[in-house]
Amino acid sequence: MALKLQVNTERLVRELEHLASYSDTPPPAITRILFTKPDLEARAYLKELFQEAGLKVREDPLGNLFARWEGHAPELPAVGTGSHIDAIPYAGMYDGTVGVLGGLEAIRALQQAGFKPHRSIELLVFTAEEPTRFGIGCLGSRALSGALSPEALRALKDSEGNSLEEVRQKAGYTGPLEEVRLPENHYAAFVELHIEQGPVLEQEGVPLGVVTAIAAPASLRVVLEGEGGHAGTVLMPDRKDALCAAAEIILGVEAFARGSGSINTVATTGFCEVHPNAINSVPSRVRLEIDVRDVEQSRRDQVVRNILQGVEQVCTRRNIRYSVEIINMDPPAKSASEVLRALVEACGEASVRFKLMVSRAYHDALFMARIAPTAMLFIPCRGGISHRPDEYASPEDIARGVQVLALTLAKLSQA
Ligand code: HGY
Ligand code: MN
Ligand code: MN
Ligand code: MN
């Protein structure tokens, strides 16, 4: 199938830039948190674009958005593609959005080329891939794949105490959460286009990455309770300083990851909330959120065990009360050979060099892999920078990713 595809790069870049204007922080920083005004406005904008492209749009009770291009055989499991549009505070404009608007452009390029899908092709916009608001990443794809039950969803509260239930209903998503989960064979295949969020493709001068596995993420919440008190009058031997205990734990997190024996182990204490957070008051309570990942699940689990032991040792020695909550400890995902094959063939047809590689970031594809044969396609991002306002992907790299995605979707929809 020698499809002559014309990617409308100019329009795509314009759409990415317009989408970036929906943000709670001024450009170039993007902040678009689940069900906030910018998120809802961005969703409305996308629905318009999807309808203009003649796609059938629906949303589920959690706000996952589906835009379907009906094929000859609508009764067959469709081919899915897509990503997310939410953005952590002070992020960039390409993380997730390239997979959503790039997926739309891939469909439009196929329509333009006169291609008719056999299996329907469905573009997904997943709710809350980022953990920012409710503390757990991939909320929408976890729920779709059954990795997060309706009961667990109903138990979620944000840092201001708003429940997911209240927040989603206020946003207009009122259906029963039991309707979100998709059956195993709902999709024949799923492909996610995403920026690499790392430096490898750029460093090696390779234009595309075909992702063979997605690293296994885990996240923990640690609450430390000391005594607090006046910074001038509580003598050092009498102190139970929660922040000093946290400092030892944070350095332990770093040391356990560095000492795991593999460069593939990473661990970060990205969230640290101090109470009362005043210069002349001994910290009485600290909340830490810790992110641990590795392509090898057993090595990741060993680091988590080391961290838990470390918390216990530090708090016993310092007489600090503590609680630890494991938010998630997910297995890695292996890409499906039939989807990898379609991606590799598409790279060949487009005469684009590619590299087989692992994704160290997690993505919605990590959970879609539980219900459908799944793989990912990476494009380079400048300096490997992501989750920062200076995140950047060039129009050429985006267009190349869209072209190969379109060819891959065409192959999979004919399979
Ligand atoms: O953290 C991640 O890996 C993803 O970008 N949310
Ligand atoms: Mn991200
Ligand atoms: Mn992402
Ligand atoms: Mn047909």
Instruction: Dump pLDDT digits (tens) for 269-283.
Output: 999 999 999 999 999
The string of DSSP codes covering 277-299 is: --TTB---EEEEEEEEEESSHHH
If one residue of 197, 293, 381 were mutated to test the ligand 1 pocket, choosing by the most ligand atoms within 8 A of its CB, it would be: 197
Lookup: tokens for 129: 């891939």
Q: Cβ neighbours of residue 384 under 8 Å, at least 6 residues apart?
A: 196, 197, 198, 199, 200, 202, 203
Give tens-digit pLDDT for 113-165: 999 999 999 999 999 999 999 999 999 999 999 999 999 999 999 999 999 99
**Domain 9-215+332-414, CATH among 2.40.340.10, 3.90.1280.20, 3.40.47.10, 3.40.630.10:** 3.40.630.10
**Centre of ligand 1 from the C-alpha of residue 386, in Å:** 9
Please determine, for residue 2, whether its predicted confidence score (pLDDT) is greater than 90.
no
Closest by Cα among 351, 358, 400, 409 to 379? 400
Q: Are domains 9-215+332-414 and 217-329 of this chain identical in fold?
A: no
Give tens-digit pLDDT for 204-242: 999 999 999 999 999 999 999 999 999 999 999 999 999
Q: Where exactly are the structural domains of the chain?
A: 9-215+332-414, 217-329
What is the structure's pLDDT at 185?
87
Which spans in 171-321 are helix H? 200-204, 242-258, 297-318
- DSSP three-state, residue 223: strand
DSSP state of 351: T
Look up residue 34 and give its amino acid.
L
Burial track 155-164 (b if 16+ CB lie within 10 A, e otherwise): ebbbeeeeeb
**Centre of ligand 2 from the C-alpha of residue 130, in Å:** 6
**Centre of ligand 2 from the C-alpha of residue 173, in Å:** 24
Q: Cβ neighbours of residue 317 under 8 Å, at least 6 residues apart?
A: none
Distances (CA, A) of 347 to 193, 341, 358, 404: 13, 10, 18, 6
Ligand 1 interacting residues, C-beta cut-off 6 A: 129-130, 137, 361-362
What is the structure's pLDDT at 1?
54
How would CATH label the architecture of 217-329? Answer: 2-Layer Sandwich (3.30)
Give tens-digit pLDDT for 396-409: 999 999 999 999 99
What is the structure's pLDDT at 170?
97
Please determine, for residue 348, whether its predicted confidence score (pLDDT) is greater than 80.
yes
Atom from ligand 1 closest to the CA of residue 363: 4
Contacts by 113-116, CB closer than 8 A, 24 or more apart = 113/3, 113/4, 113/5, 113/6, 115/3, 115/410, 116/71, 116/72
How far is Cα 111 from Cα 99, in angstroms, rounded to an integer? Answer: 18
Please determine, for residue 184, whether its predicted confidence score (pLDDT) is greater than 90.
no
Look up residue 415 and give its amino acid.
A
Average pLDDT, the chain: 97
The proportion of the chain whose per-residue pLDDT surpasses 70, expressed as a percent, equals: 100
Mean pLDDT of 50-79: 98
